[in-house]
Amino acid sequence: MEEKVYAVFHKLKIPFEVIDHPALFKSSDRVNVEIDFKGATCCKNLLLKDKKDNQLFLISLPIDKKANLKILQEELGTSRLEFASKEELVENLGIKSGNASVLNIIEKQDTGVKFVIDNDLLQLDSVCFHPNVNTASIKFSPLYIEKILKKYNANYVFLEV
């Protein structure tokens, strides 16, 4: 799975660095393991769904930032947002829990998930996302996120999360 991500980065001429590490299943796991992310900001990714119409949203934001679901609901024009199940994660993004990221579009291009990227990420020099496996992170400039999503005709939006 990760080799496919690296191949896309090479094809799109996106500079990147791979950081191997023990498996991380949730953002809080990183406090138990010493990992050098080489100055990059790690990102967390939340798969949420609109309780009313089951529209799925993958929210990507800096790992230490808290998502304000009420503001997100307003900005996305949804009813109540709730966390999607592990089964919905596999079905809609083709990955297991702990592997969610904007890079999932590379593995599962026909997804109905809307990608929501926090504007704060665009202000950073570099970010880290899992390359569809949770035993590595890929460091790159966040300015390339849109290039990747556009390549796969993803439904996405940049918002203040």
pLDDT digit string (tens) for 131-159?
998 899 999 999 999 999 999 999 999 99
* For residue 21, pLDDT beyond 80: yes
- Among the listed residues 83, 87, 64, the one whose alpha carbon sits nearest the alpha carbon of residue 72: 83
Which residue intervals of the chain are DSSP H helices?
2-11, 69-76, 86-93, 104-107, 145-151
Strands 56-62 and 41-50: antiparallel
CA atoms within a 13 Å half-sphere pointing along the CA-CB vector of 62: 13
CB atoms within 10 A of CB 22: 12
pLDDT in tens, 67-108: 999 999 999 999 889 999 999 999 999 888 888 999 999 988
DSSP 141-154: -GGGHHHHHHHTT-
pLDDT at 50 exceeding the cut of 80: yes
* Architecture of the domain defined by 2-159: Alpha-Beta Complex (3.90)
Contact 45, 58 (CB under 8 A): yes
